[in-house]
Structure 1
Amino acid sequence: MIRMIKFSILATVSFISFAIIFNFLSHREPIFSLKAIKITGLKEASEKEIMATLSPYIGTNILTVNTEGIKKAVLSHPYIKDVRVKRVYPFYLYVEIVERKPYALWVKEDGSMRVVDEDGFSYRGMRRNEEGSMFLIHAANEKDVKEALTILNKWFAEGLISRDFVSEIDYKDGGIRLISSENVEIILGKEEFEKRIKKAKAVLNDAKRKGLLIRSIDARFEKGAIIREKREG
């Protein structure tokens, strides 16, 4: 019994001592002051802009610095998709950034274009010579852009079509109209998208075997599809 009491007292004293030492050390600015922040992963975003959001943290205590606050500050930049923050004792923070990657061009109703990532997040304007490097999404708003990409990305993942197959997608009121990379219009309507895109692909493959040049395929019909051929000359 006496041994248990001694052990309990010793444990309590040890805990209190540790707490006092930790509190003392964590407030000793010269030893645990954050002196530098190293940033990696930047390609498009400006390091100067990122550092401007992080500079208020320089000089704070590395043991108690708010890493979640740092993440939030970095993620406020539209180019940044994800960020990881790691303490490197005793003086540094390591900030690893994952930027958004250009995936498609959103053509707004006023004709202006915005670059979106694979999730449909619009994060910057189009730059010179970018128009031909990505497929176009015609949509009224960012919500429709995201819905259109959700559908397309599912088809890409399942192998129904490839990214190279798509030149443009028009997503309006839940309806889909595609322009293929070979400039074939494919009308899918508002339902049974996968069934209809498979039908359109079958029609295109059959037309190639027969040497036919297709201008448009309307795949909205239960039996077959309406096909318009290109006129030579």
Structure 2
Amino acid sequence: MAAEEKSYIEKRKKARKIKTRVSSILFALVFMFWGIYYLLQSDLMNLKNIVIEGNEQVESEEIINLSNLVINRNIFKYNLKEIEKDIVSHPYIKESKVQRKLPRTITIEVKERQEYAIIPYMGSYIYIDEENIVLNASDSYIANDHILITGVEFKSFKVGEKIEATNDKGLKVVMDLLKAAKMTSIFEMISEINITEENNIRLITFDGVDVLLGEGKNPAYLMVALDEILVNLYTKNIRNVVIDMRYEGHISVKDRNTWED
């Protein structure tokens, strides 16, 4: 047999072996993918457990209803992004994260919005969070529930959406003041903040102390200074006063009766 013919036969055998090996690998891959697909579509992947995490205000059952998850349905038939979108439609839920935990569990982790202040409006009390999102509207108000923001002017509101006030500049100043107050010990002392006059914001404590804040510029300074003043007054058991902080660099404390005279 000629050398060239022998070389040709050897190449044909090698090519046949390679072809056979590739075919075997492809067959194995197809079989494996088919097996995985069958497994993922089988009853073994049917939803059995729904785990809710991070909720304190919204009931777990309510979150499950929002998710539209159904027990015994295959967990791969759900669009997790759509579920997350449906869950955050609840005004008290800011963020949601939905994950599959094989083989039969879906977890829902939520981050809730917190009630921050209350705005009275036409006989109702509108609960908002620190981003001015309307969380709830109630017909009743408990005095020590949350800080009352009065003097806000707007035509209407919608639960789950941000308030659009006609005096939104004053509302923004109030929210900045409250954020600054939360860094001190006086946040729990504040009963009401009035913005009827944007240039003369008025704060009232639960003890009846009136605080005139002017335009509310430099919220951090105002709240730290007010904190020191109130601590000093309360140690001396002084309550019936008006604190005037309208003028930068000048703070005065006067007896209410003298002020009103």
Residue identity in the other structure for 1:179 = I
Once structures 1 and 2 are overlaid, which stretch shifts more, 137-146 or 180-189? 137-146
Matched, 1:22 2:36: yes
Matched, 1:78 2:91: yes
- Which residue of 1 is the match for residue 181 of structure 2? 155
Give the drift of 1:179. Answer: 0.9
Give the drift of 1:112. Answer: 2.1
- Which residue of 1 is the match for residue 6 of structure 2? none
Query: Contact 2:177 / 2:220 at 8 angstroms: preserved in 1?
Result: no
Structure 2, unmatched stretches of 5+, are 1-13, 155-162
Query: Contact 1:170 / 1:178 at 8 angstroms: preserved in 2?
Result: yes
SS in 2 for 1:133: coil
Q: Aligned partners of 2:66, 2:219: CA distance in 1, in Å? A: 45
- Which residue of 1 is the match for residue 3 of structure 2? none
TM-score by length of structure 1 reads 0.71
Output aligned runs, 1:100-179, within 5 Å: 100-108=113-121, 110-126=122-138, 130-138=142-150, 139-140=152-153, 142=163, 144=168, 148-157=174-183, 159=184, 161-171=185-195, 173=198, 176-179=201-204
Among 73, 84, 90, the alignment partner of 2:103 is 90
Relative to structure 1, the CA distance from residue 96 to residue 11 in structure 2 (aligned partners, 3 Å threshold; closer, same or farther) is farther
Q: Aligned partners of 2:100, 2:178: CA distance in 1, in Å? A: 40
Query: Contact 1:42 / 1:98 at 8 angstroms: preserved in 2?
Result: yes
Alpha carbon RMSD of aligned pairs, Å? 3.8
Q: Aligned partners of 2:229, 2:55: CA distance in 1, in Å? A: 45
Query: Contact 1:105 / 1:126 at 8 angstroms: preserved in 2?
Result: no
Output aligned runs, 1:2-81, within 5 Å: 9=22, 13=26, 18-28=32-42, 30-40=43-53, 42-55=55-68, 58-63=71-76, 65-81=78-94
Q: Please say which structure displays the higher CA radius of gyration.
A: 2
Relative to structure 1, the CA distance from residue 170 to residue 198 in structure 2 (aligned partners, 3 Å threshold; closer, same or farther) is same
Could you list the per-position Cα deviations for residues 74-105 of structure 1 after superposition, in whole angstroms to 9, with x for gaps in the alignment? 11112323333232322222224444343332
Once structures 1 and 2 are overlaid, which stretch shifts more, 44-53 or 60-69? 44-53
SS in 1 for 2:247: coil
Amino-acid identity (%): 25
Q: Aligned partners of 1:24, 1:207: CA distance in 2, in Å? A: 75
Q: Aligned partners of 2:24, 2:188: CA distance in 1, in Å? A: 67
Query: Contact 1:189 / 1:220 at 8 angstroms: preserved in 2?
Result: yes
Alignment: residue pair count: 224
- Which residue of 2 is the match for residue 225 of structure 1? 251
Query: Contact 2:214 / 2:247 at 8 angstroms: preserved in 1?
Result: no
Residue identity in the other structure for 1:131 = A
Give the drift of 1:226. Answer: 4.6
Could you list the per-position Cα deviations for residues 28-77 of structure 1 after superposition, in whole angstroms to 9, with x for gaps in the alignment? 3x232334534355554355543333335555432353222211111111
